[in-house]
Amino acid sequence: MSLPDITPVLPEQIASPQATRLRTFLQYLDASLSTGLSIYVYGSAAVALYLADDSPKYEYGYTRDIDIGAMEPDRVEDLVLDSDIVDPPLHLQTYDVTRWMIHPDWKESTVDVSHILETKRLAVRLLHPIDLIITKLERAGDQDLEDGQFLYGRYIDDVELISRRTREAAKFYPLNARIVSQVEYSFAAIFEEAIGLRDLL
């Protein structure tokens, strides 16, 4: 399933304090590399970079982690995992994104934002906003719902596509009644429409 190309509506510049902090850290990491490296970012850091121009106004807190769902080549030993070059300090957290509910072809739809960050050896790819929202549905926290609402308002307007993508992702995830209930709750809270997943149990 192909997802919409959102490149034309990406932020043209880094303006928000959160995204500025992330750029500083990632440029520091970029300068430490001797060869090319691609990282796939999700979580709050990805949301902050998608909203880097500070529009719409999003009052998120300062994340302390950059969630890395995968990297190519996989050589975590070469990474600067922590740095106090920014305040508060940031930490690279390598946590396989497939431990969350996500479509199996997620990597094909990731979005390269290296040009916005002005990195050279470090390629920074974000989960597509649709896949990013899907990873947050199970968590169902207030921040996750707010993240989903801002991404939906900024980048996505096709709820039917998101519903299909979510159902396809759910088919590859070990569902139980609790997870289904949380995903259905989050979906309704973000999109104001229902999604039924109980038939997949």
Q: What is the pTM of this model?
A: 0.93
Task: Give 4-46 pLDDT, tens digit per residue.
Answer: 999 999 999 898 888 999 999 999 999 988 899 999 999 999 9
Task: Give 60-111 pLDDT, tens digit per residue.
Answer: 667 888 999 999 987 766 566 666 788 888 888 889 999 999 999 999 999 9
Helices assigned H by DSSP within the chain: 17-32, 43-50, 114-117, 129-137, 142-155, 159-170, 177-191
CA-CA distances (angstroms) from residue 164 to 8, 171, 191, 196? 24, 11, 13, 11
Place of tokens 């050589």: 75
Q: Torsion-angle region of residue 176: left (phi > 0), alpha (psi -120 to 50) or beta? A: beta
Facing residues of 112 across strands? 125
What's the one-letter identity of residue 99?
Answer: R
